[in-house]
Amino acid sequence: EVQLVGSGGGFVQPGGSLRLSCAASGFTFSSYAMNWVRQAPGKGLEWVSTISGSAHITYYAASVKGRFTISRDNSKNTLWLQMDSLRVEDTAVYYCARDSANYWGEIDYWGQGSLVTVSS
């Protein structure tokens, strides 16, 4: 059974940093690209970032580029999102999500989400 368990959310002041983790199990982690998708309170879904299975290729939304860094350790089956220079508008639930084996961006499984609150 595919499982994605997120952690690391919390409260941080504007300008601060936070690192989210996503522990994966039930599949060969290194064979799949992974994503972070966020949802601000009461709002819709917003794609944040994607990393290839090998970690050689990454994509970022314009809203987070230069501030957030996606990474992974395939030996630990873990995905991370390092979030720096956080802004109030980064407040959201952050979901890790797996791409299918067929196409980039074809999300098939989602983690449960981690709440990040940025406030002074």
Partner 1 sequence: DIQMTQSPSSLSASVGDRVTITCRASQGITNYLAWFQQKPGKAPRSLIYLASSLQSGVPSKFSGSRSGTDFTLTISSLQPEDSATYYCLQYNTYPLTFGGGTKVEI
> Which listed residue (29, 32, 68, 95) binds partner 1 by CB under 8 A?
95
> Of 13, 16, 105, 119, which one interacts with partner 1 (CB under 8 A)?
105
Site for partner 1 (CB under 8 A): which residue of 27, 52, 59, 74?
59
d(CA 75, CA 79): 11
Distance between CA atoms of residues 24 and 95, nearest Å: 13
Q: Which residues contact 41 (CB under 8 A, 6 or more apart)?
A: 91, 92
d(CA 85, CA 72): 21
Is residue 109 within the footprint of partner 1 (CB under 8 A)? yes
Q: Among 16-24, 67-75, 82-90, 106-114, which window interacts with partner 1 (CB under 8 A)?
A: 106-114
Q: By CB under 8 A, which span of 14-22, 66-74, 80-88, 95-103 interacts with partner 1? A: 95-103
